[in-house]
Structure 1
Amino acid sequence: MSSSVRSPMHADAILVSMREALAACAHPRLFETERGFQGQLMVELSKRIHLPEQAILEQEYQKRLSSHGLNIRPDIVIHEPYDRTKHSSRASGNIAVIELKLNASASEATADFANLAAMLKVLRYPLGIFVNIGSTETYGTLVPESAKGHIVTYGVSIAKGKVSVVETRT
């Protein structure tokens, strides 16, 4: 991971937890729907990730243009919920943002990378993660130059009961 990625948690600790959580999503049914996989990934991440005191894992949290400066619905965020008595802005306390896609095409991955890059820039998430469910293709080569070193991509698939996790650090 690039030394430019900084967060209250070390990026490598998040990525170790992510790899372990992805590998633990081992039921074939989970690879049929993005929502089903997302639910189990949240469970598995919760078991493994050690968050700072005020930080949480939150799913499908809508970013509103008026409050956040963009309106994107990331699949999962790891952050400290905004509290105006503790945070200088809504970008304070952001740790990682995760986008999931079931059997992504190159164009779908590119669109998710654009969303991740926007959240990295506007909300100052230090780490973006893309997970391509049901495929070993990570599309890491499609990450925009401006986001390289800040986005890690995964392909996760299952065959004969064995989960395969492929990681690309950009």
Structure 2
Amino acid sequence: MNRDIFLEHLTTALCAITTPRFYETERGFQGELLVRLQRIIPEGFLPDQAIIEQEYQKRLRVHGLTIRPDIIIHEPFDPNRHLSRRDGNVAVIELKRAATVERAAADIESLVQMMEILDYPLAIFLNIASDVTHADVVPVEWRERIICFAVSLRNGKAHVVRSG
């Protein structure tokens, strides 16, 4: 998967979310973002058998951590195709609504753990209803692989800010 094109698709999906209600809660925004990503990402763009889904709680015994990411893009684990749960992971996304620096830092630390343990090559932190990406709290050694976005509504249009 081409990372830059994926980030363009993500930006297009974010720009398409213009209903004020979705900016009121993380869960509402997450659901709409899933719908928009499904519509915008062309068939065949993602690796074979990769899906976009909201994730359930990770289990320590199975996954090596207990974090529940908001959205993951991955090939669901299949022991016939994958050697471990580290195989087939594409991207992980954490959403926060109007995140403070402390809340953003906690989510970014979760992204780092998921990248280290489950080998996600790309992570996204998305600050909803804000113009602040909090990219400055991403550890320097992770800034190439963790991209931060902020999205807010301005005069009925989505305003998207992206780090890096």
The normalised TM-score by structure 2 is 0.95
| Amino acid in structure 2 at the alignment position of 1:144 | P
Secondary structure (helix, strand or coil) at the match of 2:103 reads helix
Of 133, 137, 144, the match for 1:138 = 133
Structure 2 stretches lacking a partner, 5+ long: none
- Match status 1:64 vs 2:56: no
Of 53, 70, 76, the match for 2:71 = 76
Instruction: Compute the RMSD of aligned alpha carbons.
Output: 0.9
Provide the C-alpha distance between the structure 2 equivalents of 1:52 and 1:128, rounded to a whole number of angstroms.
17
Measured after TM superposition, the shift of residue 158 of structure 1 is 0.1
Provide the C-alpha distance between the structure 2 equivalents of 1:80 and 1:13, rounded to a whole number of angstroms.
19
Of 5, 10, 32, the match for 1:18 = 10
Q: Does the 8 A contact of 1:57 with 1:77 survive in 2? A: yes
User: For residues 88-107 of structure 1, what are the structure 2 equivalents within 5 Å?
Assistant: 88-107=83-102
Structure 1 stretches lacking a partner, 5+ long: 1-8
- Match status 1:155 vs 2:150: yes
Q: Which residue of 2 aligns with 1:40?
A: 32
Provide the C-alpha distance between the structure 1 equivalents of 2:55 and 2:96, rounded to a whole number of angstroms.
13
Provide the C-alpha distance between the structure 1 equivalents of 2:5 and 2:117, rounded to a whole number of angstroms.
24
Please list every run of at least 4 consecutive aligned residues from structure 1 whose deviation after the TM superposition is greater than 4 angstroms: none
Q: Does the 8 A contact of 1:117 with 1:146 survive in 2? A: no
Secondary structure (helix, strand or coil) at the match of 1:26 reads coil
Provide the C-alpha distance between the structure 2 equivalents of 1:18 and 1:35, rounded to a whole number of angstroms.
17
Measured after TM superposition, the shift of residue 13 of structure 1 is 1.8
Of 120, 141, 145, the match for 2:115 = 120
Cα-to-partner distance string for 1:107-166 (whole Å, 9 max, x where unaligned): 000000000000111100000001000001000010013322110000000021011000
Greater shift, 114-123 or 144-153, is seen at 144-153
- Match status 1:27 vs 2:19: yes
Secondary structure (helix, strand or coil) at the match of 1:138 reads coil
